[in-house]
Amino acid sequence: MAGTAGGKGNLWSATAGPAVETAPLSEDLTVDLLVVGGGFTGLSAALHAAQSGARVCVLEAEEVGHGGSGRNVGLVNAGLWLPPGEVAKIMGERAGARLNAILAGGPDLVFDLIERHDIACEAVRNGTLHCAHAPAGLSDLERRHAQLTAIGAPVTLLSAEEARARTGSPAVHGALFDPRAGTVQPKAYARGLARAAQAAGAIIVQGLPAGRRQSTGDRWVVEAGGHRITSRALIEATNAYGQTPGRFTPMHFFQMATAPLPEELLKDVLPGLEGCWDTALVMSSFRRDAAGRVIVGAIGALDHLASGVHQAWAQRKLARLFPQLAGQPLEHAWHGRIASTADHLPRIERFGVRGYAAYGYSGRGIGTGTLFGKALAQAALSAEEAALPLVPVPAYAEKMTAARALYYETGAVTMHGLELAGVKG
């Protein structure tokens, strides 16, 4: 496919460097913690558990970072997509304030791990810009600014003029700047977490899906590749790439990236290297990578008959954001699945003895997954839940998730089509 639009596939897979080296599972294992899923949640759990002296095994069905962790925009945010006041409204004042406070520390944990384990992942901690896509988007930013400053977040509201100077884009109408946040090459970050976990003693097996799990009372037994793994504790970290139906609505988000661009074209494009997303109903994102590619993204999937609309929209979006880049070929194109819950809040599920699952980060999983993985490891190994960011639920299911998934995708195609036709945006 190389040579066609987006034919180079996932940019992050192409630039993450060598894959993590792992050996096949060749015997039965007995461990303290078995983690299913090698994304940020599972790898952070494995790293922190192994560092505390536990024997740990991670089973990853494909390769480390195969799921959302190797496909996302790379914005390391200090909270959820919902602003903190709304989190508190849904969860209750005390539980919401606690979750908001914990998630505010997400970027600190991520960038600290990157530094501590010397993870080469294009880490830039220059903040993020939530941009008003139209004058109407400003009221959303003002609401978020009020809620964030009320909990002490050091965010700044930028006028249209300031936001245009900061982004280099004439298409933004104001922005909310969060200096706590930053960007990473997400797949390289996932691989770095995996190598750090291995260095701490964790066994990671790739290309091996976890099969049936059974509880024997105080032990979990999981079958994989003809072997049995017996463990005191189990963390299921499969999130949007897991098979349990009804936990969340699968929502897709695609991205497309230019080739590395010369400095004369890039000098006015995000000169501060902030990562950006916007206030549009069908949310979009834009950022640069370390090699000087410009990456635009939006809600939508690239695997159906109408996905050409998304591709055409991305080309137009690039030109609208940065007119000097009009017509630049988009070489890389890929999408990923987001686990979106109806209230946009994550869930921690408890099953059996020392069994946990975490999912539903609703598009905010770099800080959240890293924090949740650490807390889950602690809870699963100690059977002490005080440090969990959320009260675990016994099981969780939502109705109409397939219908909602269809609604998101057809909505995204329709809105992008209307923009292309000049009816909107």
Under the rule (CB under 6 A), what is the footprint of ligand FAD?
36-42, 59-62, 66-69, 71-75, 77, 209-210, 237-242, 253, 336-338, 361, 363-367, 369
Question: Is the CB of 67 or the CB of 137 nearer to ligand FAD?
Answer: 67
- In the complex, the smallest distance separating the C-beta of residue 65 from ligand FAD, rounded to whole angstroms, is 7
Question: Is the CB of 185 or the CB of 238 nearer to ligand FAD?
Answer: 238
Give me the amino acid identity at 379: A
Question: Is the CB of 238 or the CB of 315 nearer to ligand FAD?
Answer: 238
How many angstroms separate the CA atoms of 372 and 388, rounded? 7
How many angstroms separate the CA atoms of 166 and 177, rounded? 10
How many angstroms separate the CA atoms of 174 and 52, rounded? 45
Shortest Cβ contact with ligand FAD: which residue? 365
Question: Is the CB of 61 or the CB of 413 nearer to ligand FAD?
Answer: 61
- In the complex, the smallest distance separating the C-beta of residue 264 from ligand FAD, rounded to whole angstroms, is 28
Question: Is the CB of 24 or the CB of 92 nearer to ligand FAD?
Answer: 24
Question: Is the CB of 77 or the CB of 328 nearer to ligand FAD?
Answer: 77
Question: Is the CB of 38 or the CB of 127 nearer to ligand FAD?
Answer: 38
- In the complex, the smallest distance separating the C-beta of residue 281 from ligand FAD, rounded to whole angstroms, is 17
Of 295, 308, 299, 363, nearest in space to 12 by CA? 295
- In the complex, the smallest distance separating the C-beta of residue 120 from ligand FAD, rounded to whole angstroms, is 19
- In the complex, the smallest distance separating the C-beta of residue 20 from ligand FAD, rounded to whole angstroms, is 12
Determine the straight-line distance between the first and last CA of the chain, rounded to whole angstroms: 31
- In the complex, the smallest distance separating the C-beta of residue 54 from ligand FAD, rounded to whole angstroms, is 19
How many angstroms separate the CA atoms of 369 and 237, rounded? 9
Query: Residue 292, CB half-sphere, CA atoms under 13 Å: how many?
Result: 12
How many angstroms separate the CA atoms of 236 and 167, rounded? 39
DSSP secondary structure string for all residues of 246-294:
TSSEEEEEEEEEEPPPPHHHHTTSSTT--EEEE--SS-EEEEE-TTS-E
Q: Which DSSP category does 319 fall into?
A: H
- Say which residues have a Cβ less than 8 Å from residue 127's Cβ, sequence separation at least 6: 177, 178, 179, 180, 181, 182, 272, 274
- Tokens encoding 102: 């914990």
Task: Decide: helix, strand or coil at residue 241.
Answer: helix
Question: Is the CB of 165 or the CB of 228 nearer to ligand FAD?
Answer: 228
- In the complex, the smallest distance separating the C-beta of residue 41 from ligand FAD, rounded to whole angstroms, is 3
- In the complex, the smallest distance separating the C-beta of residue 381 from ligand FAD, rounded to whole angstroms, is 18
- In the complex, the smallest distance separating the C-beta of residue 311 from ligand FAD, rounded to whole angstroms, is 15
Question: Is the CB of 38 or the CB of 96 nearer to ligand FAD?
Answer: 38
Q: How many residues does the chain have?
A: 425
- Going from the C-alpha of 344 to that of each of 58, 79, 86, 133, 248, the distances in angstroms are 28, 12, 10, 21, 9
How many angstroms separate the CA atoms of 61 and 211, rounded? 10
